[in-house]
């Protein structure tokens, strides 16, 4: 047992030393990458579909985009994009490959970092595994302008670490009362954890702009009253039958139906994000994710 403990300690020291050497090689003026976490209060609101389609549209606008599937319980961006990755974050954690080996090209031109397939596996990380993935985390944002993080749903520690670690938090909801209540719960917990978090609300599956603004108005009112927080209105994605058809075909709907109403909504969202980008703080993402991994 003592020998195993000594070996583990030696591994930790080796990984930590590698991290320090790697950090020392990076130039002090290295460009920071803008990070946006896409999350929701509950599953089934179309969060992952929004992330994938938004990434495709941003690429069309000339942005270099990477998407990290941080939905650690039910990672499914690979399914949405009809790709079969050879490796995922799970393989990085056990040392079978590097993070840069996991990154694959997705339909539409963005780079996808497939997520691991179980929250329990990630939550039980030891120090060696944690150091390994943190040491390579910056590679996910290398040579890109924007890193989208599909942060999962709910208020679990993994979701909140991604949500509060990014420059901007895009909370996806639908007009359903339960989705609205859960969206507010996410905003409340994220705000308490990081009071300066930049929150934007996107209403998915809305009938029209009027319904979307009514939903946002309800969330905005309770945020102002109880949190002293004024979230931003990101817009809406209209309920469109071609979205469901695209999901069944396993292709982003902005590719399969670029002129449908939902694609137009995604285009306006992307334009708004480009015009009103937050100041990048990539170090913040790494720091907060490190805090979660540390328990």
pLDDT digits (tens, 9 = 90+) for 126-148: 445 545 555 566 565 668 899 89
CA-CA distance, 70 to 158, in Å (whole number)? 8
User: In terms of C-beta density within 10 A (0-12 exposed, 13-18 middle, 19 or more buried), how is residue 11 classed?
Assistant: middle
As a residue count, the chain comes to 295
Higher pLDDT, 231 or 101: 231
Q: For residues 54 and 6, what is the distance between their CA atoms, to the nearest angstrom?
A: 47
57: CB partners within 8 A, 6+ apart: 254, 263, 266, 267, 269, 270
Show the domains of the chain with their CATH numbers: 32-293 (3.40.50.300)
Which has the closest alpha carbon to 191: 217, 174, 221, 169? Answer: 169
How far is CA 97 from each of CA 21, 209, 255, rounded to the nearest angstrom? 20, 46, 31
Residue 194 backbone dihedrals phi, psi, to 5 degrees: -145, 95
**Which tokens sit at 275?**
């015009």
Nearest to 79 by CA among 59, 106, 99: 106
Total-model pTM = 0.81
Confidence of residue 97 (pLDDT cuts 50, 70, 90): confident
| pLDDT of 122 over the 80 cut | no
pLDDT tens digits for range 253-263: 999 999 999 99
Instruction: For 183-219, write each residue's pLDDT tens digit.
Output: 999 999 999 999 998 999 999 999 999 999 999 999 9
| pLDDT (0 to 100) of residue 105 | 95
The answer, yes or no, to whether residue 108 has pLDDT greater than 80, is yes
Q: How confident is the model at residue 11 (pLDDT cuts 50, 70, 90)?
A: very low
Average pLDDT, the chain: 81
């Amino acid at each position: 047992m003592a020998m195993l403990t000594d070996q583990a300690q030696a591994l930790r020291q080796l990984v930590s030393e590698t991290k320090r050497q790697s950090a020392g090689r990076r130039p002090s003026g290295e460009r920071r990458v803008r990070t946006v976490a896409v999350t929701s209060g509950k599953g089934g609101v179309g969060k992952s579909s929004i992330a994938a389609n938004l990434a495709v549209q941003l690429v069309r606008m000339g942005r270099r985009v990477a998407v990290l599937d941080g939905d650690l319980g039910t990672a499914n961006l690979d399914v949405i994009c009809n790709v079969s990755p050879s490796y995922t974050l799970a393989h990085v954690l056990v040392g079978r490959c590097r993070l840069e080996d996991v990154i694959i090209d997705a339909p539409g031109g963005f780079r996808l970092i497939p997520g691991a397939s179980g929250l329990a596996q990630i939550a039980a990380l030891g120090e060696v595994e944690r150091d390994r993935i943190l040491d390579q985390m910056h590679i996910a944002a290398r040579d890109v302008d924007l890193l989208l993080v599909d942060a999962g749903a709910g208020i679990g520690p993994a979701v909140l670490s991604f949500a509060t670690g990014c420059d901007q938090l895009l909370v996806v909801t639908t007009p359903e009362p339960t989705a609205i209540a859960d969206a507010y719960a996410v905003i409340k917990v994220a705000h308490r954890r990081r009071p300066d978090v930049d929150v934007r609300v996107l209403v998915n599956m809305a009938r029209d702009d009027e319904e979307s603004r009514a939903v946002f108005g309800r969330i905005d009112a309770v945020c102002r009253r109880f949190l002293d927080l004024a979230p931003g209105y990101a817009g809406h994605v209209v309920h469109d039958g071609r979205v469901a058809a695209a999901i069944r075909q396993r292709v982003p709907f902005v590719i399969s139906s670029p002129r449908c109403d939902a694609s137009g909504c995604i285009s306006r969202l992307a334009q708004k994000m480009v015009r009103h980008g937050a100041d990048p703080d990539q170090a913040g993402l790494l720091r907060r994710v490190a805090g979660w991994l540390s328990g």
